[in-house]
A and B are shown apart, each in its own frame.
Chain A
Amino acid sequence: MKLTAQEVEYVAHLARLEITPQEKEKFTAQLNDILLYIDKLNELDTKGVEPMSHAIGVTNAFREDKVAASIGTETTLANAPDARGEFFRVPKVIE
């Protein structure tokens, strides 16, 4: 086992996912299967190989720093589950 049920719970917390006890059990088994399969990569010696970050080799793409029209507050807030005035509203963060 590469991953214990306890670790699965910790990873779920990092991912901001609440999981049920049944999900925890299922995920522990399935994630272990997948990680075991992924272990295959350790057969390869990759010492000195530059990790690939971009398929085409494009580096930074800069544009001119110029003011352009934005979609505006009303449109931005139109999809918000909860909005008040010009703000997104969320449950209280600070005591």
Chain B
Amino acid sequence: MELYQSTIHELHDKIKEGKTTATEITKAVLQRIDTVEGKVHSYIRVMKDEALAAAAATDKEITKGNIKLLSGIPIALKDIVCTKGITTTCGSYILHNFVPPYDATVVEKLRAAGAIFVGKANMDEFAMGSSTETSYFGPTRNPWDLECIPGGSSGGSAAAVAADECVASIGSDTGGSIRQPAALCGIVGMKPTYGRVSRFGLIAFASSLDQIGPFTKDVEDCAIMMNVLAGYDPKESTSVNVEVPDYRQFVGRDIKGWKVGIPKEYFVEGIDPEVKAAIEEAIKTMEKCGAKSVEISLPHTQYCLAVYYIIAPAEASSNLARYDGVKYGFRAPAAELLDMYKKTRMQGFGAEVKRRIMIGTYALSAGYYDAYYKKASQVRALIKRDFEEAFKKCDVILTPTTPTPAFKIGEKTDNPLQMYLSDIFTISANLAGIPGISVLCGFTKIGLPVGAQFLAGHFQEGKLIQVASVFEKEAQSEKRRPKL
């Protein structure tokens, strides 16, 4: 096996045993990027020089015996997290020249843990999309089938891990933007509890939903990343001061006697038969592991998408008001101020971003607030209550991550509503603020990955690591890789 194909824990062991170095690993990954990036386009920017310099510095520390959790591990960052001195575009022309004056807290934490940043990953513009096709910098392709989308919005981060262009990566998830691309690219992706990971330095999309999380090659790596990322941050007032357990201790712990809830509302029309079959197989696998499956009901499931498409655009319209061409980013020349705002935003934003700003502005405008935002926030409370009731009857919930496998590039770009439907199984977790993880659970006949999603109660990421690691061991006997 090549170095660039390895997991965090495998590389960590090799470094500890003196069998490899940070520089050797980083060079292997950069070489891999050179080989496949032309096909996949995971990155907006590859940080070659920075990565090699960081690797050399890390090797000096390693020879002194100073080996940290992520020492020498090449990691990609979604281009939505601010990196001091390194352009951060959020996939948008309006920020194509924005150089942040500070690092996001997750960037600081990863660097402190020894991580080597190899690049800024491609994404849907302002994280608005489910396919990475709305990026100003062009689409990312699915490593399993280059004609297909990798999912989104964190499609670049997911594709980079699946194509071995990094060992792990960071994404953000507002309605499924980590779990959905993880599923479509056949890797592990976790959206932590709202407030579990600091969002300081994350460019805001919908503030009551956004959460940062990791993409990894296996569940143990996910636990390692969560050990680095999780925790309270005084700079981020929505981060929650709840003790962070050692997530790694949950890896492989048995789940005998656990109740796995299967929500009946998730197996209705529109779900691809191959996805349905893979999840039914996953349920059997859980039972083989000693868990019991129980049918549960999340009665407001059918309203999740409608709630999301009021709340997320409403918050986005407010968050994106800051892009006015005054303080940073692109400015269109104009003789008058109002004109400058309008032209800057017209030329700076892409169609999907404009569409969502428009929906959000409309929903929040005078006379419509009660009918839309308030109504949606009330239904959101009912959705959250559904989960509270469900978790009285089960330890975790198992669902498909997505209704279909990866679709073709261009297939849904002209039909926003169709595109939105690809997040139908992931949105509820953001609305309720609960954590979720997607793991590979099988392949379709033509070889596209299918993901299984596990959900748990607030701050129960440990349970997700536990169940997903047991499932992964039982379900994935053969290790398939995309052929690139």
Contacts and interface: CB of A to CB of B under 8 A. Distances in A.
Given A8-B358, A31-B359, A76-B101, A61 B335 contact: no
Interface string A20-57: 00010001001101110111111010100111111110
Interface residue tally on B, bucketed by range: 35 or more
Nearest to A20: B346
B354 to A, nearest CB: 6
Given A16-B324, A27-B358, A31-B362, A38 B377 contact: no
Given A41-B379, A80-B328, A34 B309 contact: yes
A61 to B, nearest CB: 4
A52 B380 contact: yes
B365 A11 contact: yes
Interface in B303-356: 303, 305-307, 309-310, 317, 321, 324-331, 334-343, 345-346, 349, 351, 354-355
A86 interface: no
A18 interface: yes
Contacts of A23: 351, 354
Contact of B358 (A12, A42, A78, A90): A12
Contacts, number: 161
Contacts of B343: 18
Contact of B101 (A38, A41, A58, A71): A71
A18 B345 contact: yes
Interface stretch (B120-128, B233-241, B255-263, B402-410): B233-241
A14 B338 CA distance: 11
Given A15-B317, A34-B359, A56-B433, A41 B376 contact: yes
Interface string A60-95: 010100000001000110111110000010111100
A30 B355 CA distance: 8
A75 B194 contact: no
Given A11-B358, A11-B362, A16-B324, A71 B336 contact: no
16 contacts: A11-B365, A14-B365, A15-B357, A31-B358, A31-B359, A33-B416, A41-B306, A41-B376, A41-B379, A51-B378, A55-B195, A79-B329, A80-B326, A81-B326, A81-B328, A90-B340
- In the A-B complex, list the 9 residue pairs whose CB atoms are closest, starting with the nearest: A55-B433, A51-B377, A79-B328, A81-B331, A61-B237, A52-B381, A46-B378, A55-B194, A18-B346
Given A58-B195, A90-B337, 19 more contacts: A12-B358, A15-B361, A17-B354, A30-B416, A33-B416, A35-B362, A38-B309, A40-B303, A41-B375, A46-B375, A49-B381, A51-B380, A56-B458, A58-B238, A61-B237, A63-B237, A81-B330, A82-B331, A92-B337
